[in-house]
Amino acid sequence: MMNFGDMHEKCRQCSFDYARIDTEIWNSSSSRRAMCPVCGWTRFEEHNWESDTPTLVKKGESYGFGAYRLVPPGGYSGYNAFHAAPSEEVVNNLKELLSVKGWKGYLTLWDEKAKRPRLIAGSPLQRFESAMEEL
C-alpha cells in the first residue's frame, strides 16, 4: 500500500508542503523527481539497479524561477518548472493560453525580492472549478 507521504515532500525553496514526486523506470534504471508546483524548485535522482542494491548515477537540485500547469480544452494536464528566468515572450504565450485561448491552469514566477512565488495568470483550482460547472 502506498503512503500519501510517498507522493510529495516539502519544497526546499518556498517551503510548500506538497512538492510532487514523479518516478520512472526503464530497463535497469530509474529516476525520481520532486518538483514544487508553486515555485519550480526541483530535485532529481537517477539510479542503476543492475545489482541487488541501487547505485546513484546522477543527482541534482535546481532553483525554481516559477512553475506552470496547462490543461488544454478537453485534454490532460502537466506541471512544469522554470529553472532560469523565462523570457517575456514565453510568459506572454502562457498568459495568452490561460486568458484568451481557453486553457485552464496557472502560471507563477519567483519574486526574488520578496523571496516568494507570485501568481501571474490563471488559478491552481481552475481545473476543479470547470469540472464542477460541467456537473
How does pLDDT run across 15-26, given as a tens digit for each residue? 998 888 888 998
Q: Identify the pLDDT of residue 3.
A: 66
Q: Are 23 and 14 in contact (CB under 8 A)?
A: no
Report the range of poorest mean pLDDT among 1-5, 31-35, 108-112, 119-123. Answer: 1-5
How does pLDDT run across 51-97, given as a tens digit for each residue? 878 899 999 999 999 999 998 888 877 789 999 999 999 999 999 99
3-state secondary structure the chain: CCCHHHHEECCCCCCCCCEEEEEEEECCEEEEEEECCCCCCEEEEEEECCCCCCEEEEEEEECCCEEEEEECCCCCCEEEECCCCCCHHHHHHHHHHHHCCCCEEEEEEEECCCCEEEEEEECCCHHHHHHHHHC
Question: 79-101 burial, b for 16+ CB within 10 Å, e for fewer?
Answer: bebbeeebeeeebeebeebbeee
Q: Identify the pLDDT of residue 6.
A: 67
Q: Identify the pLDDT of residue 127.
A: 43
